[in-house]
Structure formats: structure tokens, C-alpha cells
Amino acid sequence: MNTLLVSAPVLANSFALDKDTVTPGVLGFLAIFAIGVALYFLMRSMTGKLLVVRGEQSSDEAIRTSSESASASASRAAAVEKQKDTEK
């Protein structure tokens, strides 16, 4: 084991790689392809979740708007009743 660790740098220096012929190969392609497929499904999932959140937000705004308009109309009605009482 020790001889392998000591001789590895020596063997690496004597081995010359041609930078034009070294490619990632099939394993590199499959790794990048798997990352792409995972990214596709993650983006699809995120888009679905954002649509749900956006739908909840718009329904919350609709409820808030309707409750504000109801309270505003109730306060207007109370003001009109109070004004009628003071006129009498």
C-alpha cells in the first residue's frame, strides 16, 4: 500500500495525456443528463406550488376586500342612522 502511494506521483509524471482526446465520456454525459432531468421535475414541482400559493393569496385578498367593504358599508349605515337620529 505504501509503495503504491509513493509510486503514484512518479507514474503520473511519466504518463502523458493528450488534452485533445480526453473527454468526460458516457459517465459524464449520464451525470449531466440526470442533473437535467432532476432539475426539470424540481422546476415543475415548484411551478405547481407557486400557482397554489398565488391562488391562496388572491382568495385571501378577495376575502379581505369583501370583509373591508362589508365593514365600510356597515359603518356607513351606522353613520346614516346616527345622522337620522340627530336630525329628529
Buried b (16+ CB within 10 A) or exposed e, 50-63: eeeeeeeeeeeeee
Among the listed residues 46, 72, 52, the one whose alpha carbon sits nearest the alpha carbon of residue 60: 52
Indicate if the pLDDT at residue 41 is higher than 80. yes
Task: Give how far Cα 60 sits from Cα of 47, 51, 65, 79, Å.
Answer: 20, 14, 8, 28
Task: Enter the pTM of the model.
Answer: 0.44
Please indicate whether residue 53 or residue 37 has the higher confidence score (pLDDT): 37
Q: Taking residues 45-49, what's their average pLDDT? A: 94
Average pLDDT along the chain: 78
Q: Taking residues 2-22, what's their average pLDDT? A: 68
